[in-house]
Amino acid sequence: MSDFSHGIWPLLVAGITLVSIAACLLLLWFSGKVRVSAGQDPTTGHVWDEDLQEMNNPLPRWWVGLFIITVVFAIGYLVLFPGLGSFTGKLGWSSAEQHQIEVRKSAEEVSKIYAQFKGMTPEQMGANPAAQAIGERLFMNNCAQCHGSDARGSKGFPNLADADWLYGGQHTQIVESITNGRMGNMPALAAAVGSADDVRNLAHYVLSLSGSPHDSVRALAGKPKFATCAACHGVDGKGNVALGAPNLTDDVWLHGWGEAAIVSIVTQGKVNAMPAQSAKLTESQIQVLAAYVATLSSGGKQATR
């Protein structure tokens, strides 16, 4: 809509509106002035189906009355409400203010629902049927689009039903993830690792960390190259929840498994973003949602990763 931000557009719309109302009044006035004399042909000359003629009769009074009421209503509306350029109307009403009123009213009604959970611990909310039912609805409306209705995710979207947590599975960590979102960023490291063959060797060493099928000769050659990755994933490859660096020693592969997948990530890097939900959800809603998400993992236990 940036093309219509010039100040001439409100004036143009206001002008068209006023001209349209004036044209309606003129049309009504002229139609009331026209009279068909007794000696004239009372038809318009239009004939359908051989003998069906259109008569040239004046509008019925009730129709004229409704027409006048419509015009008066339009003028009254434009006086009371914004509709003529920058004129805000005598009532000072605005759609933005009305929206804020409705948002505040909705927030007040929602706060009453969540008041029953105030003071509960995450464990208590996780065992409370009402909190779990609300948490499930919040999850389906706000999280299932990426993580799936069963919370098991898909390629690039973490599985929330297992015990593997990139940023930690404690209640406070889940709340932080939901509130502010997460931005996972692994830079392209192929240049730092070395040649394409070095990258392949590193991929096989990474596979060996989790006991996955690999070429042991290549893995041995790639072990020294892992120093490039250790700053984030740790010397032992167990990851770092503070950075969201995955644990490479388990059998969880967020972006694909195998030599080709690892080579692609090392070569091209990877950016994964979870949007912040603080603009959509209240603090109370986030607390209940976080408690529900925690129950999805390991039968409701609060994980440490």
Q: Which CATH superfamily is domain 185-274 in?
A: Cytochrome c-like domain (1.10.760.10)
Q: Are 160 and 153 in contact (CB under 8 A)?
A: yes
Would you state the pLDDT for residue 31?
Answer: 77
**Nearest by Cα to 246 from 262, 263, 225:** 262
Q: Which residue type occupies 200?
A: R
Would you state the pLDDT for residue 192?
Answer: 96
Q: Which fold has domain 109-181+275-300?
A: Cytochrome Bc1 Complex; Chain D, domain 2 (1.10.760)
> Tokens standing for 181?
């979102």
> Tokens standing for 111?
């706060």
Would you state the pLDDT for residue 27?
Answer: 86
Would you state the pLDDT for residue 300?
Answer: 46
Would you state the pLDDT for residue 64?
Answer: 86
Residues of the chain with CATH 1.10.760.10: 109-181+275-300, 185-274
Residue pointed to by tokens 């929840």: 241
DSSP 35: -
List the beta bridge partners of residue 270: 186
Rounded Cα distance between 247 and 177, Å, is 18
Would you state the pLDDT for residue 106?
Answer: 87
pTM metric for this prediction: 0.70
Residue pointed to by tokens 């039912």: 133
Would you state the pLDDT for residue 39?
Answer: 61
Low-confidence ranges of the chain (pLDDT < 50): 1, 300-305
Would you state the pLDDT for residue 36?
Answer: 62
Would you state the pLDDT for residue 200?
Answer: 97
Q: Are 128 and 288 in contact (CB under 8 A)?
A: no
User: In angstroms, what CA-CA distances link 235 with 228, 238, 240?
Assistant: 10, 8, 11
* SS3 label, residue 183: strand
Q: Which residues contact 7 (CB under 8 A, 6 or more apart)?
A: none
Would you state the pLDDT for residue 301?
Answer: 44
Q: Are 268 and 188 in contact (CB under 8 A)?
A: yes
Would you state the pLDDT for residue 6?
Answer: 67
